[in-house]
Each structure stands twice: as C-alpha cells, then as structure tokens.
Structure 1
Amino acid sequence: MSVEELARAVGVTPGSVRRWEAGTQAVGDRAFGRLLKVLHCDAQDLTPGERGTETLADLRRAAGMTAVEVASALQRKRAAEGLHITAKKVRDLEGGRPVRGQMWLSSEALGRVARMLSQVYGVPNRVAMDAWRRSRPDDLAPKLPARRSRDASETALATWCALNERQRSYLTCIFLQDQEAEEEQRQNRYAGAARRPAAEWRRLTLALSAPAEVVGFTRIQERLREAGIHDPGTGSSVSALGRRGLIVVYRDRVYVDGLGDVPRTRVEMTRRGRGVARAALGVSLEQGPPAPLLSSWLWKIVVRVARAGAQGVDGSLAGRGPHYLAVGQSPDGRTPSRGFIVLRHPDGTDHGPYRWFLTDSGRRHITDHVDAYRSLYPGVDVEGVDGGSG
C-alpha cells in the first residue's frame, strides 16, 4: 500500500502515517485498532508485547477505542447499573489506581465489569480476566457471574416424542457415535495432533451397500444391532430424520477391495439433532470449567511446572499445552495464550537448554484459584502448590 492508501483506509492524514513510520508520532488508540484491521495483523506484530502479556490498556487499544468510548459502551449495559462508570474510572482501572465507589470494592461487581469489558473488546472472558490481573495484581480478584444453567428445551422434547421407536433408536445411535468421534478428536488435540475440520470427522459412515459378510458392519450399525435393530439399513428412518432437520444424509461411492466402487451412506448430526438427543437422553452440554479456570489437562501442566520450581520443566513439553499456556503463543492464531508459563534459561544463566517456568501471571492464577481447582479436580494433587517461586 502507498502512504496515501494506508492513510485513507485508517482514516488519518498521510502526514500521520509518515510520522508513524519515522517513529516521531505515536499511533492513537482509535487509529491503532483500525490499523490492525487494515493490515490484517495482531498488536504483537506492531509492538514489543507478546501474546499472553496483554493488559487492559492493550485490549482497549487493540479494539481501537478511547477510554471515553469504552465508558460510553459500558454505561449502556444493564450490568453497569450502580457502577457510575466514567472515562476516568476506565483509565484508573487500567493504571492500577484505586477506583472510587463502594461497589468497586465487591469482587462480584468487578466480575461484572470484567465480563462487560470482554464483550466490548470482543475477547473471551478469560482474556479479559488475565489482562485485569496483570493490570491490577495486588487487588481483589474479580468473580465472574455464574453461568446460567440450560434446561432441556420443550421444543426438543416435543420433537423427540414425535419420532417413532425405530427413528429414536437411529437418532440415539448416531448421536452416541458423534460424541465418540468428538471425544477422539479432543484426545488427539491434547496429544498434539493437528486440528481436523469438523466437517470431516463429524460426517459418519452409516452403511455400505455391499454384503455384510464382505464389508462387515459400521460402528453405527453395530450400535443399532445392539439396540435390537438387526436390519440397520438407510431407508425410511434415515429419511425421516433428515426431513426433520436432525441429520444431514450424504450418498457417494467408495472403493472396496474385491468389489470395486460401492454406494456409501454417511450421516452428520445437525445442531438441532444434537439438542433433541441431549434433551431426550438427559445428556447435558459439556460446558467445561468456568472462566477463567483451566481444563484438567492444562491445570495438570501448570501444577507440574509449579512443582518444578527453580529447576523448571524440560523444554520439550509435549502436546498442545504450550499453545494455550505459554507467553508468545496462541491456541488458534487469534486469541492470546494465558501467559502462565514461559520458555527461558534458568535464573543466573544465559546459555544451555531452555526450560519451562511459571510467569508472575501463572503464580497469581494459582494463588487466586487453587481452592477452586481442589474442588473441580480432586484427583489432581496440589499439595504444596501455592503459586510461590518454588
């Protein structure tokens, strides 16, 4: 892009762009957010900061908002009632200074503010909470509002009741296989495997139009046989589920040794189909741990690094854990990591192998939430793990 093109896209004068490039003028908050969008890059590409080290001020700049605009956006939210949010309070919050007002002494009220900021900045709750603790490390930790429980949908149950017994069996078996495939993908990601598009692994083979003594039964057909359906075909029951929008049916051909190309039927659960199956079977949608807590496998990594203390953990930490936890990393290429561990030389050395150590954010997270983790994951031993230096 030319200077003029960039200036026009960002909404500033060409002179401002030239001064940015020369290093004689800082980029304003509004322009910084627009600059990221125009250049299709992250704040880390333009600043010395790394993912997993963001402060509240960093989140605001990346969103391209001034403190006045943030205060205005927060004031319009119902959860802001009684907080009397102003631009000064936003700046005091970012600067680690006391924020005046009785309600600002409540961890529940602070949790409401943290959630509203995540909404205004377009980031996950955990990102806003981590940035909050970096900006205000010595203050009371915010307590995010509890998630609302989801009751089974009456519409979903009504849809289930409208199915006949055979159709219910088909939907149940397809749902169970869908959930098995989902768990397999989750375990593969934990082990460090590349993420596969859901459109690939959610499309399940239901049947091959070939003699069973040659091709056997698919896993869904085996489930159907276990449910008492010994002729698990692809006829009226499958068509009925497809017409109701509970599954999508795909028909193609696949090569089988000794038979050549044979017709194949594959099925994929729709979101509505999963909702109906969950409501009927009493399976709650797995929500994961409440923000900003970690999943079990990530918490185990943090505990392991914490136990290692000043010795650190070998730099070849396996799996995708570092993508979620380490400074400078990102789990998806967009949102930052938690920034709880860092790969560096041990203290007092500047050569040799790198090892994993807790960051200040990691130690603070343990201190804030170790009691909650004890209840959430009682099988993880946290004896002596308190976020200290060793």
Structure 2
Amino acid sequence: MAQTLRPQALERQRLFRDMSVEELAEAVGVTPRAVRHWEAGTRAVGDRAFGRLLEVLRCGAQDLALRDPGTESLADLRRDAGLSAEEAASVLRRNRGAQGLHISAEKIRDLERGRRVRGWTWGSPETLGRVARMLAQVYRVPDRVVMDAWRRSRPEDPLPVLPARRARQPSGESMATWCALNDRQRTYLTCIFHQDQEVEEEQRHARLVGAEQRPAAEWRRMTLAVSASSDVVGYTRIQERLRGAGVHDPGAGSSVAALERRGLIVVYRDRVYVDGLGDMPRTRVEMTRRGRAVVRAALGVPREAGPPAPLLSLWLWKIVVRVARAGTQGVDGSLAGRGPHYLAVGQSPDGRTPSRGFIMLRHPDGVTHGPYRWFLTDSGQRHINDYLDAYRGLYPSVDTEGVDESSR
C-alpha cells in the first residue's frame, strides 16, 4: 500500500531543506523522476520510501501525509517506520516473543485491515498484548501509540493486555559514581535531589488546579545560596535541608564544584537584588538526569512509573472526563495548559510522537460559524469504554458520574 501526500507538501519540505530534486532522490535511493511524480501527485510513495523521506527531511508524517497526528492506523505506523509488510514480518520473526505466532507479511496486512489473522490466538488478550508490544519496538514508538492505532484499526478485537515490564535495576555506573563521592558531596547531592522532587511535585499540583505554568527550565533551577549574611536573607530551602542533615555552613564551594565536574548538577551564577544590600551574587543549581539516577540508585528510590500503558495520567484523565461530561455542548476552545498537546487530534506533545487523538477542536454539530469547542473523538469515546472501570480504581477522587452514559 502506498502513501498519498498532501499537495505541494513534499516540494515545500525539500525546498525548506535547500535540496534539489536530484539530491533528495539520491538520499532516498530513488530516481529523480520518482520524486517529480511524487511532487506532482501522479504517483504515491511506497512504504519504504515514505519512511526514508521522513528521515532525510527530518520531518513528521503529518508534514507530508494526508492525515493528522492522533489518527494513525497500524498501517500508518509501519509506513512511518519505512517498512514494507514483508520487512516488518521479517523483523518481528526475530523477536523472542514471536515464537509460535508464525508471523508473515499476509498476517501483518490482515492485522492492519481489521481482518481475522489465521493461526493466531485472537481470543487471548495476552497474545494480542505481546504482538502490540513487539510492534511498538519494531516501529520505534511508545506502547500507547500502537495501542491507540490498534483500536482504530481493529475496534472489534478483544482489548490487548500488554505484558508487565520488568522493574529496572540500578545501573552499576550509578552506584560507582555514588561510591566515589565523599560524605559531604553525598549530602549535598541528596538534599538537592529532595528539593528537586519537592519542586516537581509543586508544579504537578499547580498543573492539576489549572494554575499558570512556568517552563521547566525556570523552576528546575533552584536557588542554593545568596552571598549575603543569613541574618538578612535567611537560608534557602536547600540550605535548610543541608542544615537539617548536619551541614551548618551550607555554602556553594568545593562540594558543589565537585558535583558539577561529575555531571550530576549544573551550576548557574548570577546576581539578585536584595533590599538594603543591592545586587548580590546568587548560586542556583539544577539536577541533571544522571544526577537523579545516581541518587535514586543509592537511596533505592524508584522512578515514578506513572499509570500503566495505555492509561492517562490523572491530569489528562480529568481533561477527558471534563470533555466527555460536556457532551454535545463541548468545552470552551480556550482549554488551558498543555493538555491538548497530549490529547488533541493534530497535536503532538514533543513534536515527534503523535497525540492520543481523544479530543478535537471543531464547531458544534449543525453549526458552521462562531467559536470552536472541544469534543470527544470516536477514539476518545472508545478509550473511555475500554478503561473506565480501571480509571475509577486508579483515580477514585475523579467524579465520573454520567461519563459512562455519555460515551457508551
């Protein structure tokens, strides 16, 4: 099956990358004539070539194809990965979890077209979950993306149950880094970590209550010290933690420098105005991913797993419930925050992976002008039908009364 492009989309992307027809053809591995046919709309792009175009042009499928993020089918995911059905089947057969499934190109096509796949145990949700997990690995997308595409492609199937993931063990490198620190450096790193986690929880709570959001680049940079008398400026929150841990001279000297040299924190030095003193030197610190991993490994603190795939976080589930309960009235189009980036058709949370496609901004039914409002999509209604009981158990504080009647 070939991929239809948006009119002029390929030419626009090619020119944006300052590439000639010949240069693009050579990079993709086709003839210049083929590229001209694609740009003229007289020939569709093959599966392998489409994935190669995305790679060469460094763009998303929505930039070329006649579809929006959040509407992908299983066939779309395979084409975005640049694989033919034969190639996808070949890769899947090498997966240890594919034993006994006898995967073939024909079965891949049947899966994508919603047809019965011969020889597979389709009555087993666990088998379906194994297949979905393998597809996510082969197509290099999160599990949730495959699960959403699966439900669009095969709405009548039993609900796949993904295999439980094994808990990650702390890496030896993280523990070795921790052991190389002296006691004072460990205390500094631990206190900075706990403050980082506390600030992150504060931001999460602010997001849930609809407060104005600050960029992470701002709130993750925490004030460690101000070079002024503590009688005037007091102690920062990190310094209070350090004093509680027995460090009564919590400055920003050699221990902080040692942690930065090891790539565990980033240090920012600037000046801040203090009443009565003027501009004073200030030291701010930010945990790196490596720094968090080291502390988690040392203290046995697991990384917050979040809800199991493909369930939503509490924040996003509240948005879906709000839209579902609004029914045919819809929700004001000025829905605040980044929720639409994760949930809405045509959006993406990171510019790479598609949204869930559970809500859509449009006119109410029968209306052709005026403000747009948010409504559930078929995928959003199906997701509620599939997982409402699971959400009620996971987030009992969320009022879902009437949601089942409005979406089933």
Would you say how many aligned residue pairs link Structure 1 and Structure 2? Answer: 388
Do 2:226 and 2:280's aligned partners in 1 also have CA atoms closer than 8 Å?
yes
Separation of aligned partners in 2, 1:41 and 1:162 = 43
* Equivalent position of 2:397 in the other structure: 379
The CA deviation at 1:181 is 2.8
Inter-CA distance 261–304: structure 2 relative to 1 (3 Å threshold): closer
Inter-CA distance 20–312: structure 2 relative to 1 (3 Å threshold): same
Separation of aligned partners in 2, 1:30 and 1:157 = 43
Q: 1:196 aligns with which of 203, 212, 215?
A: 215
Q: Secondary structure at the match of 1:378?
A: coil
* Equivalent position of 2:118 in the other structure: 100
Q: Quick check: 1:56 aligned with 2:81?
A: no
Q: Quick check: 1:317 aligned with 2:317?
A: no
The CA deviation at 1:276 is 4.5
Separation of aligned partners in 1, 2:33 and 2:299 = 64
The CA deviation at 1:16 is 1.2
Q: Secondary structure at the match of 1:298?
A: helix
Q: Quick check: 1:23 aligned with 2:29?
A: no
Q: 2:267 aligns with which of 245, 250, 253?
A: 250
The CA deviation at 1:173 is 1.9
Q: 2:238 aligns with which of 220, 223, 226?
A: 220
The residue type equivalent to 1:219 in the other structure is: R
What residue ranges of structure 2 are gaps of 5+ in the alignment?
Answer: 1-18
The CA deviation at 1:364 is 0.8
The CA deviation at 1:85 is 0.7
Q: 2:150 aligns with which of 132, 135, 146?
A: 132
Q: 1:4 aligns with which of 15, 18, 22?
A: 22
* Equivalent position of 2:64 in the other structure: 46
Separation of aligned partners in 2, 1:33 and 1:158 = 41
What residue ranges of structure 1 are gaps of 5+ in the alignment?
Answer: none
Inter-CA distance 8–229: structure 2 relative to 1 (3 Å threshold): closer
Do 1:327 and 1:341's aligned partners in 2 also have CA atoms closer than 8 Å?
yes
Inter-CA distance 98–195: structure 2 relative to 1 (3 Å threshold): farther
The residue type equivalent to 2:215 in the other structure is: R
Q: Deviations for 1:239-295, whole angstroms, at most 9, x for unmatched residues?
A: 66567x484363745254555665544444344543443355553311111111000
Inter-CA distance 32–166: structure 2 relative to 1 (3 Å threshold): closer
Inter-CA distance 271–337: structure 2 relative to 1 (3 Å threshold): closer
* Equivalent position of 1:88 in the other structure: 106
The residue type equivalent to 1:30 in the other structure is: R
Inter-CA distance 363–248: structure 2 relative to 1 (3 Å threshold): closer
TM-score of the superposition, structure 1-length normalised? 0.88
Inter-CA distance 264–32: structure 2 relative to 1 (3 Å threshold): same
Do 1:83 and 1:104's aligned partners in 2 also have CA atoms closer than 8 Å?
no
Inter-CA distance 346–249: structure 2 relative to 1 (3 Å threshold): closer
Do 2:191 and 2:242's aligned partners in 1 also have CA atoms closer than 8 Å?
yes
Separation of aligned partners in 2, 1:230 and 1:369 = 52
Inter-CA distance 223–28: structure 2 relative to 1 (3 Å threshold): same
1:106-125 equivalence runs, <5 A: 106-125=124-143
Do 2:242 and 2:250's aligned partners in 1 also have CA atoms closer than 8 Å?
yes
Q: Deviations for 1:218-248, whole angstroms, at most 9, x for unmatched residues?
A: 21112223445433234565466567x4843
TM-score of the superposition, structure 2-length normalised? 0.84
Q: 2:369 aligns with which of 339, 342, 351?
A: 351
Q: Deviations for 1:37-78, whole angstroms, at most 9, x for unmatched residues?
A: 223322222222111111011111111110001001111111
* Equivalent position of 2:201 in the other structure: 183
Inter-CA distance 11–389: structure 2 relative to 1 (3 Å threshold): same
Q: Secondary structure at the match of 2:121?
A: helix
Do 2:265 and 2:291's aligned partners in 1 also have CA atoms closer than 8 Å?
no
Separation of aligned partners in 2, 1:370 and 1:313 = 20
Q: Secondary structure at the match of 2:345?
A: coil
1:354-365 equivalence runs, <5 A: 354-365=372-383
Separation of aligned partners in 2, 1:230 and 1:323 = 45
Do 1:169 and 1:227's aligned partners in 2 also have CA atoms closer than 8 Å?
yes
What is the root-mean-square deviation of aligned Cα atoms in Å?
2.9
Q: Deviations for 1:160-190, whole angstroms, at most 9, x for unmatched residues?
A: 6887765554333211111123234445666
